[in-house]
Amino acid sequence: MPIEIKVASKDEIDIVYSTMVDAFKDYAGKLNPASGALSETTENILNTMNHGGGSVIAWDGLIATGSARFKFIEHYIYIGRVAVLPEYRGKGIGKAMLAFLEKMAEEKNISESRVEVRLSIPDNIEMYKRFS
């Protein structure tokens, strides 16, 4: 079954949250400073949704395999908290979420996207370089 990316509704905040936490827990105790993803709450996600942003969820049938957050800021889309569950990594889910978000931005005549990534996680840097 192909992965389907959808914009998350407010009713799906718990899914966005749990997917993010499950994906980021691999970094617990390994990053200095620690990842802020693990100290966030569902209220943080709701706040993003209430202030011009949102989240997407990657679905494999009924299973949420990944999530990402976004916010439109001036002339660009900010993409953050890109999270793919460990057992689904390497299957193009992160790339599919980024492509979905960039298409959303293009539909709003926004041609720039920005993603922040830690220099201390070289695998993630290489992943994002491949997407550009």
- Beta strand 53-60 with 63-73 is antiparallel
In Å, what is the CA distance from 95 to each residue of 52, 82, 90, 91? 23, 10, 10, 9
Instruction: Give strand pairing partners of 63.
Output: 60
The answer on pLDDT for 71 being more than 90 is yes
pLDDT digits (tens, 9 = 90+) for 92-132: 999 999 999 999 999 999 999 887 765 444 455 455 455 55
Pairing of strands 4-7, 53-60: antiparallel
What is the pTM for the complete model shown? Answer: 0.85
Assign 41 to helix, strand or coil. coil
When mean pLDDT is compared across 26-35, 71-80, 97-106, the lowest value belongs to: 26-35
Q: How many residues does the chain have?
A: 132
